């Protein structure tokens, strides 16, 4: 996947920005027009989100196991962990549903 390119600068503004090169702290026109290489791709973002949701589910399961086995665990913290895991899972399912809906709409476009 290609990164999103930076903002395109009109030539008149580019000339004005070039004249500011000597000012301390000004990075030049390249700072405005070069793509940011540190931004993750959509795929990486989604995989990170899935990993985060999975880790929340595992943490909630571990907390419930600790509570069930009689270990010294705060019941409110267990409930909070379970609710966070549930909410994050529901949110991920809604994102999934919207992605499938968008894919099906794109698939129905006639060329």
What is the structure's pLDDT at 111? Answer: 80
Asked whether the predicted pLDDT for residue 8 surpasses 70, the reply is no
One domain, residues 78 and 47: yes
Q: What is the DSSP string of 31-93?
A: HHHSPPSSSPPHHHHHHHHHHHHHHHHHHHHHHHHHHHTT-S--HHHHHHHHHHHHHHHHHHH
Percent of residues, the chain, with pLDDT higher than 70? 66
For residue 40, name the pLDDT band (cuts at 50, 70, 90): confident
One domain, residues 53 and 83: yes
| Domain carrying residue 8 | 1-39
For residue 52, name the pLDDT band (cuts at 50, 70, 90): very high
* Phi, psi (deg, nearest 5) at residue 36: -80, 120
Answer yes or no: are the C-beta atoms of 52 and 88 closer than 8 Å: yes
The SS3 of residue 27 is coil
One domain, residues 32 and 65: no
User: Rounded distance, CA 60 to CA 100, Å?
Assistant: 28
Number of folded domains that form the chain: 2
Instruction: Please tell me the pTM assigned to this model.
Output: 0.60
- pLDDT tens for 78-106 read 999 999 999 999 999 999 999 999 999 99
- Residue 6: which H helix or E strand, with range? none
One domain, residues 72 and 59: yes
One domain, residues 69 and 32: no
Answer yes or no: are the C-beta atoms of 89 and 52 closer than 8 Å: no
One domain, residues 74 and 101: yes
Asked whether the predicted pLDDT for residue 29 surpasses 80, the reply is no
What is the structure's pLDDT at 97? Answer: 96
User: Rounded distance, CA 36 to CA 7, Å?
Assistant: 11
One domain, residues 13 and 60: no
Asked whether the predicted pLDDT for residue 60 surpasses 80, the reply is yes
């Amino acid at each position: 996947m290609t990164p999103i390119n930076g903002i395109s600068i009109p030539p008149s503004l580019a000339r004005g920005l070039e004249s500011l090169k000597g000012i301390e702290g000004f990075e030049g026109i390249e700072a405005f027009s070069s793509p940011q290489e540190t931004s993750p791709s959509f795929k990486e973002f989604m995989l990170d989100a899935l990993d985060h949701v999975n880790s929340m589910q595992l943490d909630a399961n571990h907390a419930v196991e600790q509570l069930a086995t009689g270990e010294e665990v705060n019941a409110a913290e267990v409930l909070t962990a379970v609710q966070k895991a549930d909410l994050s899972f529901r949110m991920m399912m809604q994102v999934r549903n919207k992605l499938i809906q968008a894919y099906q709409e794109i698939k129905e476009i006639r060329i």
